[in-house]
Structure 1
C-alpha cells in the first residue's frame, strides 16, 4: 500500500521545523544532520531514515522522536522473507493433528528437543534454525493441551521464535509469535519476559512511544520491593526498566531515561551479580548488563568518548559471544571509534564481531551504517574493509 503523505516523516519534520522557526540550514546546524538529507526527507525523496537521525532532529526541534516518525497500522517486513517463509507458514497454519504415520509429539519429547536447539538461538545460527524451527512449531501446536508443561514449552518456543525473527527483521511474523507467546504465559514473570522482547521489537520498528508505554505498564505491574524481591523478580523488573530507558533516550526524554536507568541499576545492585532466571540466557540481568545499556545510551546521544569509557568497565572476555549482549555492545564500540576517526580500531571491532557471529552481523543495519561512514572517508579500502562490506551488504 502506498504511503500517504500525512504519515511520512518528511511532512511531520517540515511542520515541526516551521513551528520552531528554523530554516533547513538552521536545523542542520542545530542537529548535526546534513541539510541535504533534511531537504530530501521533507521533499519525500528519501522514504526512511535511521532512528538515531530522527532522534537528533527531534532533540534540535525540542519534540519527542515519536512526533516525527510515521505511524503505520501494520508492520511490513523490512526485508524479503527468504529462508523464513516456512517459519511464517508454521506460525500461522491452523492447528492440525499429526500425520497418522507419525507418533504423537509429547511435551517431554518436545521439551528435550527445544533444549537441544537453544544453543542455536544463543549462537545466532540462523541457517540451521530456519530449517528446524518449522518442525518444532508444528509439533508444539500438535501437543495435547491437557498434558503437563505444554503451555510453558510452547510459550518458550514462541518467545525464542519472536526474538529470532526480530533479529532477522521479520517484524510482522515476530509480532505474531510474541502475541501468541503472551497468550501462553504461565505467570506474570513469564509474561514480563515476553513483554521485554515485544518492547525490543517496537524499538527496532521505530515505535518508541509504544515501547515505552508497554515497558512502563509491565514494570508497574511487576515492581518488587527491592529488600524482599527474589532474584527472578529483580531481573525481570530490571529488564523492563532498561526498556523504559532505551525507549525514552531514543524519544529525546533524557530525564525519564536517566531515572529508569537508575532504577535498573538499583535492581542490579540488589542482585550483586549477573543472574539468569531459570538459566534463561535471554533474561540474564545484573550490573554488567546495566553498564552495557548505559554505554548504549551514550552512543544514542552521540558521546563516543563516554561509550569507550563505559566499555572499559565491561569484562568482555567473560561475556558469552551472543548477540543480545556482547555483540550489540561491540557495535557501539565500533561506532564510537568511527566517530572519533579511529577507523582501524573500528574495523578491527567489526571483524571481531564477524568472526564470532557471521550470520548475525549481516542483519545489522547499524553495522552497515558504521562501515558506510568509514568507507566514505577513505580514498582506498583495505581487503579487510572490502570483506566487511560484502558481509554487511554495503554497496561499494
Structure 2
C-alpha cells in the first residue's frame, strides 16, 4: 500500500468517532490486527481485510489504500521478454513492402485464440512480430493488436508495460474517429486500473465512455451492446470494490439490460475483446457478491449461470475462482479444492498468475497438519510455500 496505511486507518477511524474495539466489532477484523496496522507493525493487509475495515468505517476503500496503491507484477515474465522489447523499441514503419492488413488481421485472430486458450508459450512466440507489424498497418488494426498485447500484459501482471501499450492503443483507436474502437480499448484499460486498485479512475473512465457510446437498446448492434455492457461491468466492479454497492448494482442492472437485448451468449469473440451476453453478466454478478462478502448469495447466483461454456481466461476461469472463494467463505473446503484442481488442468498458465488462487489455497491448507498430494501439487504449481 502506498504511503502510511496505519496513519490513514487511524485518521478515518477517529473522524468517524470509533474506538479500535468498535471498529473491530463493526468490521469483523480483530482489534489486535487493527492495532498492529495503526502502530505500523503490519502494512501487508489483504485487500479483502481492508474492504471490511472500509465497510466498518462507512468509507470508500480508496480512503485506506491511498491514491497510488502498489499492485503485483508477474512472478514469471521471462517468456514475454521479446514482446516487451518490441513494445519498448518500436520498429519503424515498413515503407517499401508493408505487411498487408488482411494477413496481419489473420495473424491477430490466431493470436487471440491462443490467448483465450491459455496457450501462452506459443503466443509469446508470435506476439513480438505482431507488435512490430502494428506500426505498418491501419490505425484500427494497430489498436486491436496493441489492445491484445495490453491484455496479455495485464493478465500476466506486467503492469508498467501494459500501461504503455494500452495508452498507444487508445491513441490509435481515437485516430479512427470511431468511438467504439476507442471504447473497446478503454474496457481493457479499466481492467488494468482495477488490478492497480485505482477504483475512482475506473469509475470516471467507465462512466464517461459509457455515456459517450450509450446505444438505443432496441436498435443497437451486438458490438454496441457488448462494448457498452463491458464498460458498465467495469464501473460496477470498481464501485463494489470501493464500498459503493448501490452504484455497483445500478451499473450491473444496465449491463443486464444490454445482455438481455443480445438474447444469447455469443460463441465467437467480438472484435477481439471478449464474449458478452447473459451468462457473462451472471458471472460478474457472482463476482460482485463475493467482493461484497455475501458468499451465500454468490452460490445462489452461480447456480443461474448457464453450464457448458468453454473455459476462457477472461471470464469463466475467474468465475470459477469466485465460486471457490464463496465455498471457502461458507467453510466448504472440498468443492473449493475441486475447483482449483479443475483450473490446474484446464488453465494452468492462467492459474499461476492469479493472486486470488494463491490466497485461496493458503486458506485451504493453512490449518491442516498434513497435505494431500493434490494440495502439494497445487502449492508447487502456484509457488506457495508450505
Q: What TM-score do the two structures reach when normalised by structure 2?
A: 0.92
Q: 1:340 to 1:278 in 2, by over 3 A?
A: closer
Q: CA shift at 1:176, angstroms?
A: 1.0
2:147 counterpart residue number: 159
> Is 2:65 aligned against 1:69?
yes
Query: 1:177-220 CA distances to partner (integer Å, 9 max, x unpaired)?
Result: 11111111131111111111111111111111111111011011
Query: 1:88-138 CA distances to partner (integer Å, 9 max, x unpaired)?
Result: 2211214325699xx653323322222222221111222222232222211
2:24 touches 2:34 (CA, 8 Å); kept in 1? yes
1:382 counterpart residue number: 372
The answer to which of 343-352 and 232-241 deviates more is 232-241
CA distance in structure 2 between the partners assigned to 1:337 and 1:230 by the alignment: 38
Q: CA shift at 1:290, angstroms?
A: 1.1
Q: CA shift at 1:139, angstroms?
A: 2.3
Aligned length: 383
> Is 2:167 aligned against 1:193?
no
CA distance in structure 1 between the partners assigned to 2:4 and 2:241 by the alignment: 19
CA distance in structure 2 between the partners assigned to 1:298 and 1:79 by the alignment: 29
CA distance in structure 2 between the partners assigned to 1:200 and 1:151 by the alignment: 22
1:264 counterpart residue number: 255
Q: How does 1:261-340 map to 2 (within 5 A)?
A: 261-275=252-266, 279-280=270-271, 282-317=273-308, 319-340=309-330
CA distance in structure 2 between the partners assigned to 1:99 and 1:229 by the alignment: 39
1:276 touches 1:283 (CA, 8 Å); kept in 2? no
| Long gaps (5+) in structure 2 | none
1:235 touches 1:275 (CA, 8 Å); kept in 2? no
Segments ≥4 residues shifted beyond 4 Å: 73-76, 78-81, 97-100
1:87 touches 1:130 (CA, 8 Å); kept in 2? yes
Q: What TM-score do the two structures reach when normalised by structure 1?
A: 0.90
CA distance in structure 2 between the partners assigned to 1:248 and 1:73 by the alignment: 17
> Is 2:38 aligned against 1:59?
no
Identify which of 150, 156, 177 aligns with 1:168: 156
3-state DSSP of counterpart to 2:106:
helix
Q: CA shift at 1:80, angstroms?
A: 6.4
CA distance in structure 1 between the partners assigned to 2:337 and 2:69 by the alignment: 39
Q: 1:108 to 1:300 in 2, by over 3 A?
A: same
Identify which of 127, 130, 135 aligns with 2:129: 135
Q: Report the RMSD for the aligned CA atoms in angstroms.
A: 2.3
> Is 2:27 aligned against 1:50?
no
CA distance in structure 1 between the partners assigned to 2:95 and 2:253 by the alignment: 53
> Is 2:348 aligned against 1:354?
no
2:202 counterpart residue number: 211
